[in-house]
């Protein structure tokens, strides 16, 4: 007889686990670049790839960490912008390297401009290109330009369910 009283809580627990599994599997579908405290990248492209992946998930717009700023850039301050570009995709070109300097261009397919209030406005152009200048500092590639005040965050629409993406 006691088994009938236990059945209801057991069913509720199983339903809860099923729901959590469904939620966690849908969350797992959206991958975010993991935070790295040290810059162990060997090429300028790898540094830009890391930066763009963190940016694509909103980590630059919502607050790049001081530890990341020191590890991956030569910026004296953290980026602070009120709005961000929303991109469908981005592509990182191979670096153009000369001695201890490199230029890496990133091309973004822009869908719009967003802000913290959820407002989405049309972008002035469907494409945006940003050229990152990197300098080898103490044997490590770091972003020197664009400066923190001039960089505009670019978040991938797929990271937050923007209607313009599949």
**Which residue in 110, 109, 133, 127 sits closest to 47, CA to CA?**
133
pLDDT of residue 4: 41
CA–CA gap between residue 78 and residue 138 (Å, rounded): 21
Q: Within a 13 Å sphere around the CA of 129, how many CA atoms are in the beta-carbon half?
A: 5
Greater pLDDT, 154 or 62: 154
pLDDT, tens digit (0-9, with 9 covering 90-100), for 37-81? 677 889 999 999 998 988 888 766 666 678 888 888 998 887 778
pLDDT of residue 21: 37
pLDDT of residue 7: 38
pLDDT of residue 164: 54
What token pair was written down for 5?
């009283």
Domain residue limits, the chain = 1-30, 34-159
**H-type alpha helices, 29-128:** 44-56, 66-72
CA–CA gap between residue 57 and residue 103 (Å, rounded): 23
Q: What is the CATH number of domain 34-159?
A: 3.10.450
């Amino acid at each position: 007889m006691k088994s009938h009283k236990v059945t209801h809580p057991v069913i509720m627990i199983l339903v809860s686990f099923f729901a959590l599994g469904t939620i966690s599997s849908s969350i797992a579908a959206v991958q975010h670049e993991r935070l790295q405290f040290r810059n162990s990248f060997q090429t300028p492209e790898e540094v830009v790839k890391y930066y763009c992946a963190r940016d694509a998930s909103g980590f630059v717009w919502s607050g790049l960490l001081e530890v990341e700023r020191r590890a991956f850039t030569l910026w004296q301050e953290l980026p602070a912008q009120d709005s961000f570009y929303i991109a469908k995709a981005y592509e990182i070109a191979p670096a153009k390297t000369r001695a201890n300097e490199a230029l890496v261009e990133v091309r973004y397919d822009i869908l719009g401009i967003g802000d913290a209030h959820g407002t989405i406005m049309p972008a002035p152009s469907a494409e945006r290109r940003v050229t990152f200048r990197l300098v080898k500092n103490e044997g490590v590639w770091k972003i020197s330009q664009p400066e923190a005040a001039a960089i505009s965050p670019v978040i991938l629409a797929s990271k937050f369910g923007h209607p313009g993406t599949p």
